[in-house]
Amino acid sequence: MSLAAFIAAVLLCLMAAISPGPAVVMAARIGLTEGWRSGVALAIGIGAGAVTWAGAALFGLALLFDYAPILLTVLKIGGATLLIWMAYKMWRDADTPIAEVALPATPRTPFGAFRLGLVTQFANPKPAVFFGAVFVGTVPTGTSGTVMAALLICIFLGETLWNALVARLFSLEKTRLVYINMKHLIDRTFGGLLALLGIKIAAT
């Protein structure tokens, strides 16, 4: 695999990470409500989930979906259902008085935030489709294990650093003050975005 092809594959994956999706929405909300440390742990979980999908793609995920397309359908419906459930909980609690939701909220443990990031990434079939149908096409047959490992490291770093940055931006004090004043609207916006993404995943 040439250096130019390697860089192109990494940039393609970075663009996919930056594009709005459930992971970015979750990073923003956790940064806003629980602070940057929880946001970083969440971002690491998102990065680990991306690497899992990418690794699976390199080892035949696309072929599996070709032979058993029902698995992709189950993945899409299950993931969409989970995202819509998470959106419902955000929407339901949007009117909870701010006095009952101390800001910053009591942060979950680093493992809890990591697990949430992992679940959010696994619930979203977009990475499975991207890595299985697009990314894997940029990796030539016969690419060495060392190069593939380097690609996976770059994917992990790109996903983790981007979502950590999103969490950081939303953890700033000025952002928190806006949240205090507009909690019901912001929570419903986050919940609505997650629900729309879930519906889009199930329908496409």
**Residue-by-residue pLDDT tens, the chain, 204 positions:** 778 888 888 887 887 787 767 888 889 888 888 888 999 999 999 999 999 988 887 776 555 556 666 766 776 676 667 667 767 776 776 666 544 444 455 678 889 999 999 988 888 777 777 776 667 666 776 778 788 889 999 999 999 999 999 999 888 888 767 766 676 777 777 677 767 767 776 676
pLDDT score, position 23: 86
Q: What is the pLDDT of residue 99?
A: 44
> CA 40, 101, 41: angle at the middle one, nearest 5?
10
Q: How many CB atoms lie within 10 A of CB 92?
A: 12
Domain ranges, residue 178: 3-203
Beta carbons of 189 and 85 less than 8 angstroms apart: no
DSSP designation for 108: P
> Residue 100: its pLDDT value, please?
43
Query: How high is the pLDDT of residue 163?
Result: 93
What's the pTM value of the predicted model, to 2 decimals? 0.70
Predicted local confidence at residue 160, as pLDDT: 95
Structure confidence at residue 65 (pLDDT): 57
- How many distinct structural domains can be found in the chain? 1
What is the C-alpha to C-alpha distance for residues 192 and 96, in angstroms, rounded to an integer? 17
Give the CA-trace dihedral at 138, 143, 146, 152, to 10 degrees. 20
Signed CA dihedral, 9, 13, 18, 19: sign only: positive
Sign of CA dihedral 171, 164, 92, 102: negative
Q: What is the pLDDT of residue 183?
A: 65
